[in-house]
């Protein structure tokens, strides 16, 4: 019976050894982090009719945890644009809090990069293929208290190619919590 017990322990050990191996789990997805790539010059008080701008610029070559050299995200993903979403919220007296609102396409435009049919913002690789750039303008058509919530901003490669990886970039701010509140007056 002792032999059976030892065989069982050995077999279980082999099984567990496999758990620690780099096995067939997909490694198609690459996660990176960038800091302070998004810039919103918040004047905090605006008037109806004003236009505010959000800039997102990041280098084609980014640091990757665990590696000494930078990663070429264009060559790795094959994607000449990276997409992200702008989350705009308006304060509601009724709910006593900020609630997400959808901006009509006529009040949103891109000076750099593009905005697709689903309202997603795309940072485009510039002409000298050195960095991805996006500059989005928002026309303030109504009064109220608003904020941009960029606490969970993820930027992802927008092209899916079978022989390329998908890249997800988590964006963080070094001196901000990612919430930019402002007021629009009549």
Match 């009549």 to its residue by tokens.
186
Helices (H), 61-129: 73-77
Q: How far is the CB of 174 from another protein (least distance, A)?
A: 24
Q: How far is the CB of 4 from another protein (least distance, A)?
A: 6
Closest CB to another protein among 12 and 48? 12
Q: Is 69 exposed, middle or buried (0-12, 13-18, 19+ CB in 10 A)?
A: exposed
Q: Compute the distance between CA of residue 159 and CA of residue 78 in angstroms, rounded to an integer.
A: 7
Would you give the DSSP letter of residue 103?
P
Would you give the DSSP letter of residue 11?
H
Q: How far is the CB of 93 from another protein (least distance, A)?
A: 48
Closest CB to another protein among 62 and 136? 62
Q: Which residues bind another protein (CB under 8 A)?
A: 3-4, 7-8, 10-12, 14-19, 21-24, 27-28, 30, 61, 64, 67, 69-72, 75-76, 162-165
Closest CB to another protein among 70 and 99? 70
Closest CB to another protein among 136 and 165? 165
* C-alpha angle 77-82-84 in degrees, rounded to nearest 5: 140
Q: How far is the CB of 25 from another protein (least distance, A)?
A: 8
């Amino acid at each position: 019976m002792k032999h059976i017990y030892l065989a069982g322990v050995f077999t279980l050990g082999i099984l567990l050894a496999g758990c620690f191996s780099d096995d067939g789990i997909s490694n198609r997805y690459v996660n990176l982090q960038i800091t302070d790539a998004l810039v919103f010059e918040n004047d905090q008080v605006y008037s109806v009719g004003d236009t505010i701008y959000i800039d997102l610029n990041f280098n084609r070559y980014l640091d990757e945890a665990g590696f000494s050299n930078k990663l070429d995200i264009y060559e790795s993903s094959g994607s000449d644009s990276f997409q992200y979403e702008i989350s705009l919220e308006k304060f509601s007296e009724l709910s006593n809090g900020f609630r997400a609102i959808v901006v009509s396409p006529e009040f949103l435009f891109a000076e750099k990069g593009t905005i697709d049919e689903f309202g997603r913002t795309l940072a485009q690789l510039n002409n000298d293929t050195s960095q991805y750039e996006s500059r989005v303008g928002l026309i303030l058509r109504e009064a109220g208290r608003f904020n941009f919530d960029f606490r969970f901003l993820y930027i992802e490669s927008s092209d899916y190619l079978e022989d390329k990886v998908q890249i997800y970039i988590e964006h963080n701010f070094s001196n901000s919590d990612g919430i930019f509140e402002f007021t629009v007056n009549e």
